[in-house]
Amino acid sequence: MEDFIDFIIGIHIHDNDGENDLHLEVGKGIIEFKEIFSQLYTKLNDLIFVLEYRTIDFEMINSSVKYINVVIPCHR
């Protein structure tokens, strides 16, 4: 990621099971978001975060935002 970090302006976020593109709630699959966010640490305040789900589910969105705020190295 170091080679292209300066070119990242936004990230689409959802979780999955490692086999299917399920668009799961963040934290409910196998993606290591804490590690990803730690690699993006210097850019976090400038990034656009897009939660990407198959349906509009405000509880899932709220839960994902709370999860992201817990695992992110610094609160935005």
Predicted confidence at residue 28, as pLDDT, reads 95
Per-residue confidence at 72, pLDDT binned at 50, 70, 90?
confident
Predicted confidence at residue 74, as pLDDT, reads 63
Nearest alpha carbon to residue 33 among 67, 76, 75, 74: 67
Which DSSP string do the residues of 7-47 spell out, in sequence order?
G--EEEE-B--SSS---BPTTSSS--HHHHHHHTGGGTTTP
- Report pLDDT digits (tens) over 27-62: 999 999 999 988 888 888 888 999 999 999 999 999
Q: Report domain extents, the chain.
A: 5-71
Q: Which amino acid is at 53?
A: Y
- Report pLDDT digits (tens) over 7-27: 999 999 999 999 999 999 999
Q: What is the pTM of this model?
A: 0.79
